[in-house]
Structure 1
Amino acid sequence: MAAVTFDAVRKVYDNGRVAVAGASFEIASGELVVLVGPSGCGKSTLLRMIAGLEAISAGELSIAGRRVNDVAPRDRDIAMVFQSYALYPHMTVAENLSFGLRLAGAPRAEIDRRVADAARVLGLDALLARRPAELSGGQRQRVALGRALVRQPKVFLLDEPLSNLDAKLRAATRVEIARLHRQVGATMVYVTHDQVEAMTLGHRIVVMSDGVIQQIDTPLNLYARPANVFVAEFLGSPGMNLLRGQVDPDGTALVLDDGSRFVLGDAVPATAGERLVVGVRPEDLRLQALDGDASIEAVLDLAEPVGNETFLNLRFAGQALIARVPPGEVAAAGSALRLSYAPSRLHFFDAAGGGRRG
């Protein structure tokens, strides 16, 4: 295990595009950190700089306290798992698992022990004699993970390893990766654009956009206190509802562009007349009112029952809202619904810069 430290690390390509703009943070030894963000945000570039596959334009990158800016990938003691399995089709599972160790000249007994250990951890014992063509997608991904595991590296790097799997296999393999991390206690850096993977796997999450780190925190803290509008919208399924308007003269409501009022309560971190973005999570919009609730009337565009819950796609003051409600019959599309919410559960953001207030 080893810590990975970024100190003002930048990546600027020859055409002037800034892929990573001054990343500074530490991944603790034994921690599983997820890098998440939309396509092109810089997360894979950051991972590839750890691996040594991308040159660092500025700053310093350290692994286990050793500066590795100019260290060749093979000398960094890392193992990488890609979204493509990259298994040798003519080799058995056992041969694929042992290939790197055989190439390095490891003793036969050591190779057999490590392969057996990896197969046991990943449930591959019965598959060791098979070739990749005889395996399912999930089994192939487990072999790819095992090939990294047998090397016993200081750091595991996983670049969107589940993106080629269907939804059911993604969920199952996600559990296996979490279990694997608990068993081996290795330092893992995991890249994904899927915020559900990020929320369920990471000890901490690094949220990126346009090469800039937006926030680093635990999944629960990111969800409860997003640092800005981008994080609020990106994390959560569905993301946070955001309403834009002007604080009324009393400082207790948001006046939207069509004149509708959205009650904010008493503790509003803004002055009267100021533009403000107000966020409310879909689960905080309810069909049943509680004591102290405020309410709005919204028009239902579409109800999406998904079994254990229903998503209501609504329109309020010309702005789209989504409510997450318990399963059950709902009104027809086009109906007006009264939705309640607790003002204490609202989130406030700056209208200009998008940063959190309060």
Structure 2
Amino acid sequence: MTTVSLDHVRKIYPNGHVAVAGASFDVGDGELLVLVGPSGCGKTTLLRMIAGLESIDAGTLRIAGRVVNEVAPKDRNIAMVFQNYALYPHMTVAENLGFGLRLRGMPRAEIAQRVDEVARLLELEPRLDARPAALSGGQRQRVALGRAMVRQPAVFLLDEPLSNLDARLRLAMRVEIARLHRRFGTTTIYVTHDQVETMTLGQRIVVFDRGAIQQIDTPMNLYERPANLFVAGFLGSPAMNLLRGTLHMDDGLALATAAGTIRLGTPPQMDALADWRDREVVLGLRPEDLHLLAAGDPAIALEARLEVLEPVGNEVILNLRHGDLALVARTPPGIGCVPGEIVRLGVATQRLHFFDPNDGTRIG
């Protein structure tokens, strides 16, 4: 079994900057775990520490049960795919794929067998004699993946491998990576800041910010029960609406904001919110949990001015203004509203999120 275990792993640079502040988590055998966070949060530094490219200042790192804090990268049985493809421009695709195996002194026949197998899996067979300059971006990315795959490592480490591709190629390569992981079942740690990659690839997700872990969970649990304001605002596209106001509990729940009162009905968190009566909270509303109401519908929660419509085919994104508060709603196509119009909105009472405005933690 190949597991990766981090126990209070820490990285501090000489200038005192804490890049990774005591990261602890386990990656199961055959699991695809995603590290996600904004640029500069420490996720790539942590991946490089697992690879052995950055030293560990404190804590313990184990791969397959063996402590590897002081083990050289070449002896960790890992393979890493970098954000830039790092292909040798003077070598052909076949030579790039097999270069690492040649350095290890593997027999030529076995190198050729592995290169042919990986080239077939990644549909690179027609390009084996081409050099990187003659390849498309997607083909170069597949060569970079293939160079890691031929080594048959215990652990794959991928550092934003799709960030240099256009949207169509990202989709194709995302599907390819998921398919290859299902086929080989290699323990994989994948670093990205892309939310679609995060939600579609990760079996579990580690959300990082400022060197610290914010939450570890499955994709849907993170989306439906974010642990704090950072996770709530970071995961989701469009992002969750966050509204600050005072909570009232007269005839159902209501949030009094500077722009007016928002009626919230009777959400399932009522008991947990009892201590927050007449206190300030932050309300979180996913865009899909705001919906347009017909004239005369008594379920009105708030009114807002429609500023911009963004039709994207299967849905329409509504950019709204409720007083000084910007709101985003996601609706089906075919709505009869125009910019500048005042619209009436209801909320999905069963899907409300509440947060402590002081420390950002989830309430209830």
TM-score, structure 2 as length reference? 0.95
The answer to whether the 8 A contact 2:35-2:191 is kept is: yes
Structure 1 equivalent of residue 318 of structure 2:
312
- 1:77-114 CA-to-partner distances (Å, cap 9, x unmatched) read 11110111111112111111011111111012211111
Mapped to 2, the partners of 1:249 and 1:27 lie a distance apart of 44
The answer to whether the 8 A contact 1:3-1:27 is kept is: yes
The DSSP-based 3-state class of the residue aligned with 1:286 is strand
Ranges in structure 1 where 5+ consecutive residues have no aligned partner: none
Question: In terms of mean alpha carbon deviation, does 113-122 or 146-155 score higher?
Answer: 113-122
2:338 matches 1:332: yes
Structure 1 equivalent of residue 278 of structure 2:
273
Q: Residue 110 and residue 274 in structure 1: after superposition, are their counterparts in 2 closer, same or farther (change >3 A)?
A: same
2:196 matches 1:196: yes
Mapped to 2, the partners of 1:43 and 1:262 lie a distance apart of 40
Structure 1 equivalent of residue 24 of structure 2:
24
Shift of 1:264: 4.7
* Amino acid in the other structure paired with 1:311: I
Question: In terms of mean alpha carbon deviation, does 254-263 or 34-43 score higher?
Answer: 254-263
Structure 2 equivalent of residue 262 of structure 1:
263
- 1:273-321 CA-to-partner distances (Å, cap 9, x unmatched) read 11111111111111247x9955211111111111111100011132111
Which segments of structure 1 move beyond 4 Å, counting only runs of 4 or more? 291-294
Mapped to 2, the partners of 1:102 and 1:330 lie a distance apart of 65
Structure 2 equivalent of residue 302 of structure 1:
308
- 1:199-234 CA-to-partner distances (Å, cap 9, x unmatched) read 111111100011110001111111111111111111
Mapped to 2, the partners of 1:113 and 1:275 lie a distance apart of 65
- 1:328-357 CA-to-partner distances (Å, cap 9, x unmatched) read 244222210111222111111111111111
Structure 2 equivalent of residue 245 of structure 1:
245
Mapped to 2, the partners of 1:264 and 1:72 lie a distance apart of 59
Mapped to 2, the partners of 1:110 and 1:80 lie a distance apart of 21
Question: In terms of mean alpha carbon deviation, does 119-128 or 146-155 score higher?
Answer: 119-128
Shift of 1:2: 1.4
Mapped to 2, the partners of 1:296 and 1:244 lie a distance apart of 15
Structure 2 equivalent of residue 100 of structure 1:
100
Q: Residue 333 and residue 72 in structure 1: after superposition, are their counterparts in 2 closer, same or farther (change >3 A)?
A: same
* Amino acid in the other structure paired with 1:182: R
Mapped to 2, the partners of 1:193 and 1:161 lie a distance apart of 11
The answer to whether the 8 A contact 1:33-1:204 is kept is: yes
Shift of 1:249: 5.3
* Amino acid in the other structure paired with 1:165: L
Q: Return the match for 2:327 from 308, 321, 343.
A: 321
Structure 2 equivalent of residue 71 of structure 1:
71
Question: In terms of mean alpha carbon deviation, does 260-269 or 339-348 score higher?
Answer: 260-269
Shift of 1:125: 1.7
Mapped to 2, the partners of 1:218 and 1:114 lie a distance apart of 34
Q: Return the match for 2:289 from 278, 284, 289.
A: 284
Mapped to 1, the partners of 2:84 and 2:298 lie a distance apart of 52
Q: Residue 293 and residue 59 in structure 1: after superposition, are their counterparts in 2 closer, same or farther (change >3 A)?
A: farther
- Write the mapping of 1:156-235 to structure 2, written as runs, cut at 5 A: 156-235=156-235
Mapped to 2, the partners of 1:298 and 1:174 lie a distance apart of 38
RMSD, aligned CA = 1.6
The answer to whether the 8 A contact 1:263-1:294 is kept is: no
Q: Return the match for 1:351 from 346, 349, 357.
A: 357
Structure 2 equivalent of residue 50 of structure 1:
50
- Write the mapping of 1:79-158 to structure 2, written as runs, cut at 5 A: 79-158=79-158
The answer to whether the 8 A contact 2:300-2:344 is kept is: no
* Amino acid in the other structure paired with 1:314: L
Mapped to 2, the partners of 1:258 and 1:197 lie a distance apart of 36
The count of corresponding residues between Structure 1 and Structure 2 is 357
TM-score, structure 1 as length reference? 0.96
Shift of 1:260: 2.7
Ranges in structure 2 where 5+ consecutive residues have no aligned partner: none
Mapped to 2, the partners of 1:33 and 1:293 lie a distance apart of 42
